Structure 1
Amino acid sequence: MTLNFIRYFLALLILVFLSLETQASSSINSLRIWPAPDHTRLVFDLSGPVQHKVFSLENPKRLVIDIGRVRLNTQLDTSDLTNTPISRVRSAVRNKTDLRVVLDLSQEVQPRSFLLRPNEQYGHRLVVDLVLEEKQKQAAKKPKTVKQQRQIVIAIDPGHGGEDPGAIGPGGTREKHVVWGIAKELARIIERDPAFKPVMTRTGDYYIGLRKRVDVARKARADLFVSVHADAYRLPQPQGSSVYVLSQRGASSESARWLADTENRADLIGGVEGVLTLGDKDETLAGVLVDLSMTATLSESLKVGSRVLKNLGQVNRLHKRDVEQAGFLVLKSPDMPSMLIEAGFISNPQEERRLKDLAYQRKLAQQIASAIKDYFRENPPPNTSLSAKASHSSSAYTIRRGDTLSEIARRKGVDIGELRKMNDLNNDVIRVGQRLRIPST
């Protein structure tokens, strides 16, 4: 009797142990691959947290991803590998509970990996980034050239992308697709004017961190940063277009604060760890949050933002009549005017239908481009073809509200001392409506 009890007890322990083993293991439910110009991101969607290890093998080039105590509930070898350094994906079970995934590679990569906890969009995820070393070296060797009469550079930032779909409308429309259409059309219109040059922060459907977007614009020496989004709210009623610029003193309204918090959480959805592990560590940007020299930049942001908002009102109703301000992380650059455009509320069923219409996207892009070009024709940056035309066509300027003598000197590309001397000014005090003579550049 005692022996039978012992056998029963041992069998029960084994069953409990096997049950705990089954409960503790996670599963891989899908694999998503996002190719970008400088890296490729692999996202394993998991049912729970896992332990993992990544290492490289040579002859031939391979990357091995060992994932502990996990079941495979999908097919990895059917993934689309177009425009990636991966030629094949293989997998096999190890030790009955672990999984080994092998990536056959066509070129050298620098792997980075991390785990992401669940959020409102996704569950547990294992992210593996393959950084393309060859493109990094080419970028480092590329010489920088500065033309005497350069084009005006407009950085166009299509919000979200890849792992981060942005807001999703009641009809299933994804914000990342809407803003990509508007941004692409905006770039096409701007590029037709030889005085301007558009630069896209992302060139396809892949994730890019908020600080990286600003970094792309700054490396291109952009004269203006335009981030394009489609608004969303908890209720379906709100509608209309909006324009936002940075605020250093708090949001201009509760809705502006809520929107900024929502947009700033994009790094949590796309994986802020990915930004850090890709080597995006710009010390200048780290100081942006406390930079106190942004007064002139914010002033120009408000001016060009007001023009854009007015033009948007010719296509769509406006959610707010004035440019709003909030602490958007993507707008925190001290050296270029920046604005964030909410083309409309994708959470509103009627506006969602308009936003996904290509003809409507084109109308929005045309109005935005027109406002931007009008602003720069009146305020051409120094050493640009527009500033050269302005210096030959006019030698006078009428003071407008918000102008300062130092701003005017900077915009016209002249020395402030020469500007004072030509206009018999003993100090920098000027008044609205006053006409200034501008020294020849």
Structure 2
Amino acid sequence: MKNNYYKLKGCLLFILSGLCIAAQASNEVQSVRVWPSPDNTRVVFDLTAAPEHKYFALDKPDRLVIDLRNIKSGSNLPAVSGDTGLIKAIRSSSDNNSMRIVLDLDKASKATVFALPPTPPYGHRLVVDLPDSQPQHSTPAITPTIRTARDIVIAIDAGHGGEDPGSIGPSGFYEKNITLPIARQLAQMIDRQPGMKAMMVRTKDYYLHVNRRTEIARGQQADLLVSIHADAFTTPQPRGASVWVLSLRRATTEVGRMLEQTERHSELLGGVAEIIKDSANERYLAQTVLDLSMNHSMVTAYQVANEVLNELGKVAHLHKKEPQAASLGVLKAPDIPSILVEVGFISNPDEEKQLKAAAHQTRLAQSLFTALKRHFEQSPPADSLFAQQRAREHRVSAGESLSLLAQRYNVSIDDLRNLNQLSSDSIRVGQTLRLP
């Protein structure tokens, strides 16, 4: 009798353990997304629950192998969305509530694999980052020209991208799909202006960490970094554009504090946070130089921000008429003046509709271009073409006339009149005239 009892108990325990294993084996890969960028490829596996995984690399040929445990029996890997030259194929096999995923690589890559918790609009994810040591689509470097006067380089950062959609409007529209079209139009306007050159920090729909964005701008020797975003709030009422500059303390408004939190949220959504290393040997000298550089950058950024607000106010409602301050990573480059432009509140239904309109995006880009051009015309870098052109000016003295100046500088009266937008030949003492 006693033996029968233990046999029965053993059977029950075996059945219960089997049921527990079956209950745990309920995870499933819902989708596979590939996000290529110039120097990294990200693969995202969307799952129904937190992944239990191990991974290892193989060579000859190069492969990355990922083993997922507690996967629903009979489940298959869904179709892959997106592609990249670094990955030749993604295949899988299943056995005993586990799935083996193999990424066939075009060349060796030191993979980083990590899990991310649910953050709307995504659920549980397993993320694979594959750095490309020799990217096929790297940003072209600036080549020196023969002339001494250089172009002013504007780095344009389209906020968010790829795995990080940014804020989401009431209709489900993503912030990243607003920032990139505006950035592209602004870049085109800048490139058409002699003496100015645009470089896009993000050219397509992929994620870049905030630190990487400033590194790209620095690599192109940018004179200014403009980061374009769309704002959001917990209620639909707030509306209007704003411009943000760096605060070395805390944000000055509640919206600013939310913006700081959103940036940290984007880092989580996009990937593992990166660490900026300080390898300076002469710490005190380096700190002094950095302080001076940062002070110049912050002053310049504040001046640019005011110019941008003046122009934005002509095409959009302003949420704040003065530059706002927050401690944001994309603004922290000590050697590059940086501003962050919020073109409107995507959380406001009316503004979301407006921000989605191509015509309004063009108006926003035009206002940004006008402001940037005016700032650098007034305060050009000393070695720039703008500075060279600014040197061709004349301050009117008593007894001088337009015809006299035209004769002195060997230019036509019509050219002088058109360049300075004069409605007549009348000029006044103290007036500054630009010379062709």
Scaled to the shorter chain, the TM-score interval is 0.7 to 0.9
Unaligned runs of 5+ in 1: 397-434, 436-441
Matched, 1:115 2:111: no
Matched, 1:214 2:210: no
**Structure 1: how far apart are the matches of 2:140 and 2:358?**
39
**Structure 1: how far apart are the matches of 2:110 and 2:43?**
13
State whether residues 34 and 83 of structure 2, in contact with CA within 8 Å, keep that contact through their aligned partners in structure 1. no
State whether residues 110 and 133 of structure 1, in contact with CA within 8 Å, keep that contact through their aligned partners in structure 2. no
Deviation at 1:174, TM superposition (A): 0.5
Deviation at 1:130, TM superposition (A): 1.4
Q: Evaluate the alpha carbon distance shift between residue 282 and residue 395 of structure 1 in structure 2; reply closer, same or farther with a 3 A threshold.
A: farther
State whether residues 170 and 348 of structure 1, in contact with CA within 8 Å, keep that contact through their aligned partners in structure 2. yes
Amino acid at match of 2:92: S
Q: How does 1:340-351 map to 2 (within 5 A)?
A: 340-351=340-351
Corresponding residue for 1:292? Answer: 291
Deviation at 1:58, TM superposition (A): 3.1
State whether residues 30 and 78 of structure 2, in contact with CA within 8 Å, keep that contact through their aligned partners in structure 1. no
CA RMSD of aligned residues (A): 3.0
For residues 390-430 of structure 1, the C-alpha deviation after alignment (integer angstroms, 9 at most, x for no partner) is: 2243589xxxxxxxxxxxxxxxxxxxxxxxxxxxxxxxxxx
**SS of equivalent residue, structure 1 residue 64:** strand
Matched, 1:327 2:327: yes
Corresponding residue for 1:70? Answer: 71
**SS of equivalent residue, structure 2 residue 46:** strand
**Structure 1: how far apart are the matches of 2:190 and 2:305?**
17
Q: Evaluate the alpha carbon distance shift between residue 296 and residue 133 of structure 1 in structure 2; reply closer, same or farther with a 3 A threshold.
A: closer
Corresponding residue for 1:228? Answer: 228
For residues 259-288 of structure 1, the C-alpha deviation after alignment (integer angstroms, 9 at most, x for no partner) is: 222233310111124x56xxx75758x999
Corresponding residue for 1:414? Answer: none
**Structure 1: how far apart are the matches of 2:156 and 2:139?**
23
TM-score by length of 2: 0.82
Deviation larger for 10-19 or 331-340: 10-19
Q: How does 1:182-331 map to 2 (within 5 A)?
A: 182-273=182-273, 275=274, 292-293=291-292, 294-331=294-331
Amino acid at match of 1:340: L
**Structure 1: how far apart are the matches of 2:261 and 2:311?**
27
Q: How does 1:32-43 map to 2 (within 5 A)?
A: 32-43=33-44
Q: How does 1:386-397 map to 2 (within 5 A)?
A: 386-393=386-393
**SS of equivalent residue, structure 1 residue 76:** coil
Deviation at 1:112, TM superposition (A): 1.8
Matched, 1:85 2:86: yes
**Structure 2: how far apart are the matches of 1:197 and 1:214?**
17
Deviation larger for 43-52 or 340-349: 43-52
**SS of equivalent residue, structure 1 residue 339:** strand
Deviation at 1:128, TM superposition (A): 0.7
State whether residues 76 and 89 of structure 1, in contact with CA within 8 Å, keep that contact through their aligned partners in structure 2. no
Q: Evaluate the alpha carbon distance shift between residue 281 and residue 296 of structure 1 in structure 2; reply closer, same or farther with a 3 A threshold.
A: closer
Deviation at 1:122, TM superposition (A): 3.0
Deviation at 1:170, TM superposition (A): 0.5
For residues 369-395 of structure 1, the C-alpha deviation after alignment (integer angstroms, 9 at most, x for no partner) is: 110011101111121111122224358
For residues 24-63 of structure 1, the C-alpha deviation after alignment (integer angstroms, 9 at most, x for no partner) is: 3433222211111111101112233334333333333322
Q: Evaluate the alpha carbon distance shift between residue 371 and residue 73 of structure 1 in structure 2; reply closer, same or farther with a 3 A threshold.
A: farther
**Structure 2: how far apart are the matches of 1:32 and 1:202?**
19
**Structure 2: how far apart are the matches of 1:331 and 1:212?**
12
Deviation at 1:116, TM superposition (A): 2.0
Q: How does 1:101-180 map to 2 (within 5 A)?
A: 101-135=101-135, 145=144, 148-180=148-180
**Structure 1: how far apart are the matches of 2:133 and 2:330?**
27
Q: Evaluate the alpha carbon distance shift between residue 313 and residue 72 of structure 1 in structure 2; reply closer, same or farther with a 3 A threshold.
A: farther
Q: Evaluate the alpha carbon distance shift between residue 239 and residue 149 of structure 1 in structure 2; reply closer, same or farther with a 3 A threshold.
A: same
**Structure 2: how far apart are the matches of 1:141 and 1:217?**
12
**SS of equivalent residue, structure 1 residue 17:** helix
Amino acid at match of 1:292: D
Corresponding residue for 2:417? Answer: none
Q: Evaluate the alpha carbon distance shift between residue 75 and residue 303 of structure 1 in structure 2; reply closer, same or farther with a 3 A threshold.
A: farther
**Structure 1: how far apart are the matches of 2:202 and 2:49?**
31
Amino acid at match of 1:7: K
Deviation at 1:251, TM superposition (A): 2.1
**Structure 2: how far apart are the matches of 1:187 and 1:143?**
15
**Structure 2: how far apart are the matches of 1:141 and 1:225?**
17
**Structure 2: how far apart are the matches of 1:365 and 1:66?**
47
Deviation larger for 381-390 or 350-359: 381-390
For residues 315-361 of structure 1, the C-alpha deviation after alignment (integer angstroms, 9 at most, x for no partner) is: 11111111111111210111121111000000011100010111110
Amino acid at match of 2:173: T
**Structure 1: how far apart are the matches of 2:140 and 2:65?**
31
**Structure 2: how far apart are the matches of 1:268 and 1:373?**
36
Q: Evaluate the alpha carbon distance shift between residue 7 and residue 395 of structure 1 in structure 2; reply closer, same or farther with a 3 A threshold.
A: farther
**Structure 1: how far apart are the matches of 2:342 and 2:36?**
27
**SS of equivalent residue, structure 1 residue 319:** coil
Corresponding residue for 2:12? Answer: 12
State whether residues 39 and 138 of structure 2, in contact with CA within 8 Å, keep that contact through their aligned partners in structure 1. no
**SS of equivalent residue, structure 1 residue 110:** coil
Deviation larger for 307-316 or 9-18: 9-18
**Structure 2: how far apart are the matches of 1:395 and 1:145?**
34
**Structure 2: how far apart are the matches of 1:14 and 1:394?**
96
**Structure 1: how far apart are the matches of 2:204 and 2:14?**
52
Deviation at 1:308, TM superposition (A): 0.5
Amino acid at match of 1:329: G
State whether residues 89 and 103 of structure 2, in contact with CA within 8 Å, keep that contact through their aligned partners in structure 1. yes
Q: How does 1:46-65 map to 2 (within 5 A)?
A: 46-65=47-66
**SS of equivalent residue, structure 1 residue 59:** coil
- Identity across the alignment (%): 41
**Structure 1: how far apart are the matches of 2:351 and 2:207?**
25
**SS of equivalent residue, structure 1 residue 387:** helix
For residues 174-228 of structure 1, the C-alpha deviation after alignment (integer angstroms, 9 at most, x for no partner) is: 0000111111111111111131111111111111101111111111111011010
State whether residues 158 and 202 of structure 2, in contact with CA within 8 Å, keep that contact through their aligned partners in structure 1. yes
State whether residues 33 and 44 of structure 2, in contact with CA within 8 Å, keep that contact through their aligned partners in structure 1. yes
Q: Evaluate the alpha carbon distance shift between residue 282 and residue 228 of structure 1 in structure 2; reply closer, same or farther with a 3 A threshold.
A: farther
**SS of equivalent residue, structure 1 residue 134:** coil
